[in-house]
Amino acid sequence: MKKIQNVFNKMGQVYLEDPVKAVRGQSFIKILHKYVADEIRLRLNEKAKREGVEVIEEAKVFGSNKAKDVDVALIHPKSGPLLLIGFRSQMSSVSKNVLTYYEDIIGESISLQDRFPLAVHCYVYLHPLESIKKGLETEKIDHDRYAKMYDKITGRSLETRTYKQIRGIYDHFSYVVADFNNGSFKEDWSSICTNDLRISNFVDRVIKTLNDRLFFTNYFD
């Protein structure tokens, strides 16, 4: 928990310094990319390394209709993607754009699952507790509603026998609400959601699914 708290503290510093630049340049969300990528790298065993399995950030992957730059991917040099993780930070105009982005990330999962049904597909979504963008400070953000929305598009990994046929549902999803003004974040939606949407155990959940699904590889001890 301390590691992820430090990550959000660092992200908060970058965001508060210049919110517009941080979002448009993706400098602060890439801090979270790197944290997740590094945590997965640390867990790869020697067998995985010998076989050339590696974690790649900004990996170019071919979906069913076009190429896609996936934020974090675990890729086998011959067999291709084993794990694909997308990230999004939506820090203002949330209610205006959230449904469009919701549709986008469902479409993204369908495209990638068509090409790589065996892979583990995941997403991390970040909202602010309150918008601090000039002119939008009073924007109302219905976090509970959005948590329930994201809960509806995760849990593919629970269908252990039929997951290859499922489209538009992620194996794992994390929804985080950050309050960068006081350095806190909300990740636990268990009171209103069926699935676990926490970021603090996200990598553990992902690796468990990789171990279960790719039981013949033994890339994680």
Q: 161-208 pLDDT, tens per residue?
A: 999 999 999 999 999 999 988 888 999 999 999 999 999 999 999 999
Q: What is the mean pLDDT of the chain?
A: 93
Beta carbons of 120 and 206 less than 8 angstroms apart: yes
**How much is the pLDDT for 137?**
65
**How much is the pLDDT for 171?**
98
**How much is the pLDDT for 36?**
98
**How much is the pLDDT for 79?**
95
39 pLDDT band, cuts 50/70/90, is very high
- Distance between CA atoms of residues 21 and 30, nearest Å: 13
133 pLDDT band, cuts 50/70/90, is low
Pairing mode, strands 80-89 and 120-128: parallel
Q: How many CA atoms lie within 13 A of 203 on its CB side?
A: 22
**How much is the pLDDT for 101?**
97
Separation of CA 191 from chain center:
21
**How much is the pLDDT for 15?**
86
205-213 mean pLDDT: 97
Separation of CA 183 from chain center:
20
127-145 mean pLDDT: 82
Q: Where are the domains of the chain?
A: 2-213
Strand order in the sheet with 184-186: 54-62, 67-76, 80-89, 120-128, 172-179, 184-186
CB atoms within 10 A of CB 64: 13
**Interhelix angle 202-213/29-43, nearest 10 degrees:** 40
101 Cβ contact partners less than 8 Å away, ≥ 6 residues apart: 88, 90
Does residue 135 register a pLDDT over 80? no
- Distance between CA atoms of residues 82 and 103, nearest Å: 24
| Range of lowest pLDDT (26-40, 121-135, 204-218) | 121-135
Residues in the chain: 221
95-119 mean pLDDT: 96
Q: 60-105 pLDDT, tens per residue?
A: 999 988 899 999 999 999 999 999 999 999 988 898 899 999 999 9
Q: What is the pTM of this model?
A: 0.95
Provide the token pair at 138: 């009073």
Does residue 121 register a pLDDT over 70? yes
